[in-house]
Structure 1
Amino acid sequence: MRRRYNPYSLPPWVRKARGVCEQFIIPFCIFQGVRTLLFPTAFDVLFLIVLVLLAVAFKMQMI
């Protein structure tokens, strides 16, 4: 049985770090998307995919 995720059970410094990451993930995705369009490399594409998945996880409150 899976435990429910409760963000208030985390230490305060983890909650603050999570909030900071949540604020900066969308601008990083936009920057990386533009960079990938201009200079596409395999690393840039994979990094963009990871950033987008992180942004979706933050928006759906899975992290």
Structure 2
Amino acid sequence: MRRKYNPYALPPWLKKSRDVLHQFAIPFCIFQGIRTILFPTAFDVLFLIALVLITVALKIELL
């Protein structure tokens, strides 16, 4: 049986790193989006998709 996710049960260092990632996620997405528009490569597009997915997951508190 799967346990429920409780963000309050996380260790303090993990909470802090999650908060820092949440703070920098949108600026990194914007920078990567501009970079992808100017110099499109397959890696840049995949990296932008991964960043957007991480940002969405952080916003709806899945991570």
Do both proteins adopt the same fold according to a TM-score greater than 0.5, normalized to the shorter chain? yes
Aligned residues: 63
Gaps in structure 2 of 5+ consecutive residues? none
C-alpha displacement of 1:3? 1.9
After superposing on structure 2, the runs of 4+ consecutive aligned residues of structure 1 that deviate more than 4 Å are none
Which SS does the other structure have where 2:62 is aligned? coil
In structure 2, the partner of 1:13 is 13
The whole-number CA distance in structure 2 between the counterparts of 1:45 and 1:3 is 35
- The answer on 1:23 being equivalent to 2:26 is no
The whole-number CA distance in structure 1 between the counterparts of 2:18 and 2:44 is 24
C-alpha displacement of 1:2? 2.8
Which SS does the other structure have where 1:62 is aligned? coil
Q: TM-score, normalised by structure 1?
A: 0.96
Q: TM-score, normalised by structure 2?
A: 0.96
Gaps in structure 1 of 5+ consecutive residues? none
C-alpha RMSD of the superposition = 0.7
